[in-house]
Amino acid sequence: MRRLLLDIFSGAGGFDIDVAKNGEEAIDLLHRFKPDVVTLDIHMPGMDGLQCLDRIMVERPTPVVMISALTAEGADETLEAMALGAIDFIGKPRGPISIEIEGVTELLIEKVRSAAQAKISRTTRLTDRVRLRSALVQPKSKPRTGAVPAAKPRPIKPLPERSSADGLVLIGTSTGGPAALDVVLAGIPADFPWPVVIAQHMPKSFTGALARRLDRFCALTVIEVTKSEPLRPGHAYIGRGDADLLISRRGASLIALAAPSASELHWHPSVDRLVESAMQYLGPERLIGVLMTGMGNDGAREMAELARKGGRTIAEAEETAVVWGMPGALVAAGGADHIEPLDAIAARLNMLVGR
C-alpha cells in the first residue's frame, strides 16, 4: 500500500514525499520532514494510527487524511480519528489493492491536495475536543445551548406566525464535517422545534456509524435515513452515503427519503439536491440553510437561491472552517445572511427559531 501511494503521488506531480513504515517513524518525520499533509492508516505495527494521530495533533498539528477500511469497524475507528483531529478520509480498496486503487486515485489526490491547504491549529482542535468531551458526559435529556455569537450588523428575518413544526434546518458539510457536526449538534436542545436534516459527503458504510455516534452524545435523536422517515421536531436526520437525501410529503407529513444519487452531481449526498427538494414542499421562510466546512461548492447554488427567495442561511466563518470551499462559495454568491464561527452556529439557529 505504501509503494502504491508513493507511485500515485509521484505520478501526480507537485508532491515532495517521504514514507514511514510505522507510527514511530511517522512522528520522527513529522519533526524532521515537516509535511504539509499526512496520510495515515489506522492499522500499523507498534503505535497504531489513532495513537499516532493523537501525538501529531499535540506535537505538531498537521492536516491528516486517514486511509480507512470500508467496514463497520473501520467506520467507527475513522470517526474516532475525526474526533481526534483528522480532517478527511478515503476508503482503502477491499480487493486486490493494485487493481482497485485505480478507482480511488483521482479522489485521493484531490483530497490530499485540499488537505494540504486546510487550516488546522492546536487551539482549534483542543477547543473542539474539550467541547466534545463535555457533551459526552452530559445526560442525553439535558437541553444544551451554544455559545452566544457576536452581534451582527445584518437584521434577522422574522419568523412568520405559523406552527414552528412546519420548518426545517438543512445542513450541508463535507471535509472536516464530522467534527463540525459534533460541535453544532451538541448546542441544539432536545426541544428544538424544527427537524434538522444533514447532508454529509461520506460513503454509505460510514453514515450509519456517524448517526449512532452523534446520537450517543447530543440531545437530539439522530437517525440515518435509509428509508422514508417522517420528520419530527427534536430529531436530526443524516443522509445515507452514496445516495441523495430528499424532502417530500406523505399526506400532511414531511418525510426524508434516500434516493439514488444523481450521476451528474459530483458529491453525495448532494446538498444542492436536498435544498432544492425542500423548497418544493416548504416556503423559503420555513427553511434555514447551514453550509459548513468542505471542499468544492455543493450547496452554495441552492442556498443562495433560498436566501434570494426569503429563507435564512448561515455560512461557517473562514476562521473556523477546515476548508472554506462550500461556505466560501455561498458567501461569494451573496447568499449568506449570517457568517458565524463554528461554535456560534447552534446559538444562531436557536435564535432564528425563536428559542
Model pLDDT for residues 35-84, shown as the tens digit of each residue: 999 999 988 888 999 999 999 998 999 999 998 876 667 888 999 999 88
Q: For residue 174, indicate whether it is catalytic.
A: yes
Whether domain 2-118 has CATH 3.30.70.890: no
Q: Indicate which residue of 128, 201, 215, 261 is catalytic.
A: 201
pLDDT attached to residue 45 = 85
Lowest mean pLDDT, pick from 111-120, 197-206, 332-341 = 111-120
Cα–Cα distance, 123 to 61 (Å, whole number): 10
- pLDDT for the residue 128: 54
- CA–CA dist 68, 92 (Å, integer): 5
Query: And the C-alpha cell for 5?
Result: 501511494
The average pLDDT across 78-104 equals: 78
Q: 125-352, superfamily in CATH?
A: Methylesterase CheB, C-terminal domain (3.40.50.180)
Annotated domain spans of the chain? 2-118, 125-352
201 flagged as catalytic: yes
Cα–Cα nearest to 188, from 133, 226, 135, 256: 135
Amino acid at 2: R
User: What was the pLDDT predicted at 200?
Assistant: 97
Told to judge if 266 belongs to the known catalytic residues of this protein, a careful annotator would answer no
Residue tagged active-site, from 68, 88, 128, 174: 174
pTM of the model: 0.84
Catalytic hit among 88, 128, 215, 298: 298
- The reply to whether 2-118 and 125-352 are identical in fold is yes
Could you report how far apart the first and last alpha carbons of the chain are, in Å? Answer: 51
